[in-house]
């Protein structure tokens, strides 16, 4: 029966509700006269006063205004940080929830069973674990230039961060030095409403093993005293300047210029020495990336004679770690700079059985199969949206004996795995990995085996 419009709340309504559970993505789930509310800032057991935002026929989004009665699980937050919404949940409980949400995604969304769900791998560090942070510039209520993160649910408002507890102390220091220099220069932040202004974003990357820093300032077109900025930074980090003309909030694209130091960041991972260009993807938790990739290698079950495909390979890290255990490795990635990094990384680590190519997986996977032969093992590490229908079809056509799926979103892994199971594969085992403590995000590795023809 359709929910009566009389009991449905409207945008701007303030309600008192109790949070029952957590949805995928981290919002609390509550009900008001049977109507579902997804509540930002609420955890199971909380009684909260909320403001209703976007309302639809079946549910509405809401944000917590006040915690009237806290959950027995709720703990005091350590940091004033919009990027750490789960810090009010004890870490052991965070792990339990993530484990359950992976299981729920596979069973409810993918309608899968018969697989082994292995225990979640806990994070090495619960704070200061990120090797990359993207900050945004804005103004506070006094008109002062600030740098921080978007306020939850408010794209135009920036919350200043002084000590980002997800970044290292060196990374925090680099951010503060850039901001102080920008204030001294009188530079204006970009206004997201009008599309006017200069300073847009600041990207700080760190080599956790090497201690190197890379700072990239993202601005609108204009003038910048790069020599002066480089002189304001301690520790001589690599300094890049990206100029963007687009109106959207992005740090990708545009024109990037090296102002000081090295163009690429050096890092070590799993015994590899890798070089990372400014826009190339690299897992943002180095310590846990090593565990994630070790798990992918374990699930690949390589014995030395296999042909391995690494799709969405980035700078080649997973493939290069697998290559010494295989006969040959072929990597595909659409970002040309990342492929250049992968080729360079193979050379510098003296890995000569790995080949990397730039191209769209949807369009070139068939060509790769014709050129290299069918893969024995196929590794795929797609973006959060998962694999498109066309890519799934191309993977099925390639007919690998084993698929290792590295997922950053169990809700997109589930339908992809279901499609592969329908095509003749068996989902054998899955293991979650906590790459991002204090957040609802969870990664996992899945193993799928091609069933023998009957």
Which H, E and C letters describe the chain, residue by residue? CCCCHHHCCCCCCEEEEEEEEECCCCCEEEEECCEEEEEECCCCCCEEEEEEEEECCCEEEEEEEEEEECCCCCCCCCCCCCCCHHHHCCHHHHHHHHHHHHHHHHHHHCCCCCCEECCCECCCCCCCCCCEEEEEEEECCCCCEEEEEEECCEEEEEEECCCCCCCCHHHHHHHHHHHHHHHHHCCCECCCCCCCCCEEEEEEEECCCCCCEEEEEEECCCCCCHHHHHHHCCCCCEEEEEECCCCCCCCCCCEEEEEECCCCEEEEECCEEEEECCCCCCCCCHHHHHHHHHHHHHHHCCCCCCEEEEECCCCCHHHHHHHHHCCEEEEEECCHHHHHHHHHHHHHCCCCCEEEEECCHHHHHHHHHHHHCCCCEEEECCCCCCCCHHHHHHHHHHCCCEEEEEECCHHHHHHHHHHHHHCCEEEEEEEEECCCCCCCCCEEEEEEEECCCC
The alpha carbons of the chain give a radius of gyration, in whole angstroms, of 23
Indicate if 294 and 418 belong to the same structural domain. Answer: yes
Judge whether 179 lies within some domain: yes
Judge whether 86 lies within some domain: no
Residue 155's pLDDT is 67
* Residue 338 backbone phi and psi in degrees, to 5: -65, -40
Place of tokens 């530079």: 187
Judge whether 229 lies within some domain: yes
Q: Which of 268, 298, 320 is the last residue of a domain?
A: 268
* CATH number of the domain that residue 410 is part of: 3.40.50.150
Q: Which of 238, 268, 298 is the last residue of a domain?
A: 268
- Nearest 10 degrees: Cα torsion 438, 440, 443, 447: 140
- Residue 356, classed as helix, strand or coil, is strand
Indicate if 226 and 302 belong to the same structural domain. Answer: no
Indicate if 162 and 263 belong to the same structural domain. Answer: yes
* CATH number of the domain that residue 24 is part of: 2.40.50.140
Taken in order 218, 223, 224, 227, the sign of the CA dihedral is: positive
Residue 153's pLDDT is 66
Indicate if 161 and 229 belong to the same structural domain. Answer: yes
Alpha-carbon distance of 339 to 122, in angstroms, equals 31
Alpha-carbon distance of 261 to 230, in angstroms, equals 9
Place of tokens 């309302």: 55
* CATH number of the domain that residue 252 is part of: 2.40.50.1070
Indicate if 258 and 191 belong to the same structural domain. Answer: yes
Residue 394's pLDDT is 95
- Give me the tens of pLDDT residue by residue for the chain, a chain 454 residues long: 344 454 788 888 888 999 999 988 888 899 988 889 999 888 999 999 998 988 888 888 888 898 999 999 999 999 888 889 999 999 999 999 999 999 999 999 999 999 999 999 999 999 999 999 999 999 988 889 999 998 776 667 888 998 999 999 999 999 999 999 999 999 999 887 888 889 999 999 999 999 999 999 999 999 999 999 999 999 878 999 999 887 777 778 788 999 999 888 999 999 999 888 877 778 899 999 999 999 999 999 999 999 999 999 999 999 999 999 999 999 999 988 889 999 999 999 999 999 999 999 999 999 999 999 999 999 999 998 999 999 999 999 999 999 999 999 999 999 999 999 999 999 999 999 999 999 999 999 999 999 877 5
Could you tell me which residues are beta bridge partners of residue 433?
121, 443
- Domain of residue 357, residue span: 94-125+285-450
Indicate if 374 and 261 belong to the same structural domain. Answer: no
Alpha-carbon distance of 56 to 9, in angstroms, equals 9
Indicate if 331 and 413 belong to the same structural domain. Answer: yes
Catalytically active residues, by annotation = 408
Judge whether 321 lies within some domain: yes
Judge whether 85 lies within some domain: no
Indicate if 181 and 311 belong to the same structural domain. Answer: no
Judge whether 353 lies within some domain: yes
Place of tokens 């997109």: 412
Judge whether 84 lies within some domain: no
Indicate if 312 and 437 belong to the same structural domain. Answer: yes
Indicate if 444 and 321 belong to the same structural domain. Answer: yes
Judge whether 211 lies within some domain: yes
Burial of 154-176, coded b for 16+ CB within 10 Å and e otherwise, reads eeeebbbbeebbbbbebbbbbbe
Which H, E and C letters describe 49-72, residue by residue? EEEEEEECCCEEEEEEEEEEECCC
Indicate if 173 and 120 belong to the same structural domain. Answer: no
- Residue 391, classed as helix, strand or coil, is helix
- Could you give the count of Cα atoms lying within 13 Å of 435 in the half-sphere of its Cβ? 24
Neighbours of 324 (CB within 10 A): 15
Indicate if 252 and 291 belong to the same structural domain. Answer: no
Number of structural domains, the chain? 3
């Amino acid at each position: 029966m359709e929910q009566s419009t009389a009991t449905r709340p409207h945008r701007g309504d303030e309600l008192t509700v109790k949070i029952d559970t957590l949805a995928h993505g981290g919002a609390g789930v509550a009900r008001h006269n049977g109507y579902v509310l997804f509540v930002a800032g609420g955890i199971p057991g909380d009684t909260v006063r909320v403001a209703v935002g976007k309302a639809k026929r079946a549910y509405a989004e809401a944000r917590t205004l006040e915690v009237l009665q806290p959950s027995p699980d709720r703990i005091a937050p350590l940091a004033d940080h919009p990027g750490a919404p789960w810090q009010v949940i004890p870490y052991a409980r965070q792990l339990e929830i993530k484990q359950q949400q992976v299981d729920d995604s596979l069973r409810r969304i993918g309608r899968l069973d018969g697989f082994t769900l292995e225990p979640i791998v806990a994070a090495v560090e619960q704070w200061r674990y990120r090797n990359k942070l993207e900050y945004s510039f804005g103004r506070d209520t006094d008109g002062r230039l600030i740098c921080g993160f978007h306020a939850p649910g408010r794209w135009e408002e920036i919350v200043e961060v002084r000590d980002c507890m997800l970044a290292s102390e060196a990374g925090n220091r680099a951010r503060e030095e850039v901001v102080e220099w920008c204030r001294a220069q009188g530079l204006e932040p970009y206004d997201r409403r009008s599309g006017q202004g200069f300073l847009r974003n600041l990207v700080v990357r760190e080599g956790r093993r090497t201690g190197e820093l890379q700072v990239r300032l993202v601005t609108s077109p204009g003038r910048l005293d790069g020599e002066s900025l480089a002189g304001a930074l301690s520790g001589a980090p690599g300094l890049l300047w990206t100029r963007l003309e687009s109106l959207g909030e992005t740090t990708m694209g545009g024109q990037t210029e090296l102002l000081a130091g090295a163009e690429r960041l050096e890092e070590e991972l799993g015994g590899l020495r890798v070089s990372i260009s400014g826009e190339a993807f690299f897992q943002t938790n180095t310590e846990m990336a090593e565990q994630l990739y070790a798990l992918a290698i374990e699930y690949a079950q390589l014995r030395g004679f296999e042909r391995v495909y690494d799709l969405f390979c980035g700078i080649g890290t997973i493939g290069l770690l697998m290559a010494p255990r295989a006969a040959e490795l072929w990597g595909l990635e659409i970002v040309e700079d990342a492929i250049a990094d992968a080729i360079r990384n193979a050379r510098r680590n003296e890995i000569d059985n790995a080949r990397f190519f730039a191209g769209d997986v949807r369009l070139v996977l068939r060509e790769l199969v014709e050129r290299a032969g069918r893969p024995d093992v196929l590794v795929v590490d797609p973006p959060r949206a998962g694999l498109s229908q066309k890519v799934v079809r191309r993977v099925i056509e390639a007919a690998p004996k084993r698929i290792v799926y590295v997922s950053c979103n169990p809700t997109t892994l589930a339908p992809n795995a279901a499609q592969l199971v329908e095509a003749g594969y068996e989902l054998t085992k899955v293991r979650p990995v906590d790459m991002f403590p204090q957040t609802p995000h969870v990664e996992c590795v899945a193993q799928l085996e091609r069933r023998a023809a009957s």
